Structure 1
Amino acid sequence: MNTPVISKRPAATSGELVLDETGLDAARKSLADGAITPAYGPHRDAIVKLLNDALATELVCVLRYKRHYFMASGLSSPAIADEFLVHANEESGHADRIARRIVQLGGEPDFSPGTLQQRSHADYDESNDLKTMVRVNLVAERIAVETYRQMIALIGDKDPTTRRMLEDVLADEEEHADELKDWLEK
């Protein structure tokens, strides 16, 4: 079997944009690593840890929203409860995306119930008052917004795929916070 030969480019002149041939050569090796090339360097493990903490946060948010969905009562409760369920399902989707990315990075998603709350940035809540539920969820969404904003800044150009995923999740969290703020003002 013949291995294809890829020609090398001449050295770059000042100001020219060219690819790093050393990086491309490294990408030809360690095929078992899939999409993870050596350029991920030492940041991959740190990114996986950040993602596992974000996963814990999303899972705690799913549980909190689900509880609030089932426990909401009062005149305004049907519409707000429906919104809690929508948010629970969207948070579950975020958790799935994060878990999938952890696996793509060669890590293992941590779904351990025993450490979920301590790894989560947001709190679980068992309140029964509808206004308190909305307020608690707004606080959690604001924490998520700040957490994802900081993660995006930390990751920067170290992992553009994870950064873009987190930017998408951040946009959803900002939308959730705006919706909850509107409910709080009613």
Structure 2
Amino acid sequence: MPTLFPLSPQMSYHERRADSIGFFSNGGAEPMGRLGQQLVRDDRKALIEALTRAYADEWYAHYNYFFVSKTISGPDSPAVSQVLRRKSDRALIHAERLAERIIALGGAPVPKLTDLSKDATDKPFKLPDNVRDIDGALKAVLDAERTSIRTYRALSEKIREKDSVTQALAVELFREAVEGEEEIERLLGEPAPEMDGR
């Protein structure tokens, strides 16, 4: 979206062109150049779908971690809440980076929050009924981290040698998800089995 201010007469042609396509107002994300798009052309639609799924998952992680951080109670809740707030913030940053990559590939992020469920991984975030059950809440977070590990590993393997930029992003987010799993397992004191989502 172009800026709301009139274009300055001192702006160069390229600056005016960049402003008219919204380069300055969306953090620099814009569709890739012609060669970049040709290199991923055959797989672009599937790649955008995979990135959109990860984008929707990160939005859910952002909300779920934030919600848990505000609702858990008990003696250990302040420390756990702080960890979850940090994880919530990190998930939002991940969503932003995924959105930028989706745009660069010629796609668009999900326009409405209410539509995220159509694109997200079909796995519920299962919280315990008792807000004092911190271990139960952490196990739900751990399950979400493991979903991220699977998502980013699959994405990285899918695009190997096809799109180096997206693969680098997927590998970085995979690494962060692995570190997140380790952090939650440390808080729990032992590796936890995967939840079945029921």
Q: Same fold (TM over 0.5)?
A: yes
Residues 114-152 of structure 1: per-residue CA shift (max 9 Å, x gap):
232342225334542211110000011011101111111
In structure 2, what is the equivalent of residue 51 of structure 1?
51
The alignment's TM-score, normalised by the length of structure 1, stands at 0.78
Mapped to 2, the partners of 1:37 and 1:99 lie a distance apart of: 17
> How big is the alpha-carbon RMSD for the aligned residues of Structure 1 and Structure 2?
1.7
Mapped to 1, the partners of 2:66 and 2:32 lie a distance apart of: 37
In structure 2, what is the equivalent of residue 174 of structure 1?
178
Q: Counterpart amino acid of 1:86?
A: R
Mapped to 2, the partners of 1:98 and 1:34 lie a distance apart of: 18
The alignment's TM-score, normalised by the length of structure 2, stands at 0.73
Q: Contact (CA 8 Å) 2:54, 2:120: kept in 1 or not?
A: yes
| Identical residues among aligned pairs (%) | 25
In structure 1, what is the equivalent of residue 74 of structure 2?
74
In structure 2, what is the equivalent of residue 136 of structure 1?
140
Q: Contact (CA 8 Å) 1:123, 1:140: kept in 2 or not?
A: no
Q: Counterpart amino acid of 2:99?
A: A
Post-superposition offset of 1:58: 0.3
In structure 2, what is the equivalent of residue 152 of structure 1?
156
Mapped to 2, the partners of 1:123 and 1:185 lie a distance apart of: 24
Count the aligned residue pairs: 155
Paired residues for 1:1-186 under 5 Å: 34=33, 36-121=36-121, 122-127=123-128, 128=131, 129-185=133-189
Greater C-alpha Rg: 1
Mapped to 2, the partners of 1:33 and 1:147 lie a distance apart of: 24
Secondary structure (helix, strand or coil) at the match of 2:83 reads: helix
Gaps of 5+ in 2: 1-30, 191-198
